[in-house]
Amino acid sequence: KTVAGGGVPFLDRYADVHIGRRWHHGWVMLALGEKPRTLVLLQPELLDGRDKDIVAKFEDKYLEVRAQKKAFLGKEHAAKFFHYLPPESLQPVLDSATRGLCGILVLEHLDGDAIELTKALVAQWTTSAEAGGEGLYEAQSIYCSQGPWECLRDFEFFFPHLDALPVERTLALIKADGLCRFDKNGDPVVEQAVRAEIAALGLFIVGSAPMVLNENQVAVIERASADPR
């Protein structure tokens, strides 16, 4: 769980909840208001391992992934997001976008030109070799914000509270034992307690996702827990 407002020791009393004390690349407890950002949507067909290659290509150009998630778009939401497309192009994109989970990336560049740089890269990758591009991915398989106004719309669509967040954030991780605790009605006991106390303190959850940690991620969390900073 990602919680706005750093330093929330109240959660430490739960044995199966971890509070992040430092920022580590890959977590979502990020200060996202420092530089202009842009949003990228990867169609479901790219989430077959090629999404990792795409992220690596962005990072090679010093575009840092500052937040990411996967989201399923129903037909209504997909039509709302891609409403600007002409009718002859819209249906194939909707069919692709609603086929499974889409990958959503928030990118930031050191020099603050994330929008234009991302547009140029996506155009190069999705334009055929015959037309002067690299033809690495199909046209329309990668969407990116086309300008500052589009960025505002895209962030509001996928990250509605992004620009309203305070800079300081922390991460709370509910461990597997906590997720396995249910009351007689089948409701998750620890998760409900955590959410209730977060709300009572006037904090709000920026985002949450279930995941299986690999050994490297566990090591990062253990180091963060042991670090007094």
| Mean pLDDT, 10 residues at a time, the chain of 229 residues | 42 47 35 71 94 94 90 91 86 92 92 91 93 91 91 86 59 81 80 81 72 83 70
Alpha-carbon gap, residue 124 to 130, rounded angstroms: 12
Residue 57's pLDDT is what? 95
CA–CA separation, 40 and 104 (whole Å)? 6
User: Residue 22's pLDDT is what?
Assistant: 37
Burial of 140 (0-12, 13-18, 19+ CB in 10 A): middle
User: Given its phi and psi angles, is residue 199 left (phi above 0), alpha (psi -120 to 50 degrees) or beta?
Assistant: alpha
pLDDT of amino acid 101: 93
Give me the pLDDT at residue 163, please. 54
Q: Which pLDDT score is estimated for 4?
A: 42
Name which of 181, 37, 178, 41 is nearest 97 in CA terms. 41
174 contacts 191 by C-beta, under 8 angstroms: yes
The confidence score (pLDDT) of residue 24 equals 34
Q: Which one, of 118, 40, 106, 103, lies nearest residue 73 by Cα?
A: 103
Treating both helix axes as pointing N-terminal to C-terminal, what angle do 114-126 and 50-60 enclose, rounded to 10 degrees? 130
- pLDDT for the residue numbered 184: 80
Let me know the angle formed at the C-alpha of 9 by 8 and 12, rounded to the nearest 5 degrees.
120
Q: Which two tokens stand for residue 17?
A: 């909840």
**What pLDDT is attached to residue 117?**
95
pTM of model > 0.85: no
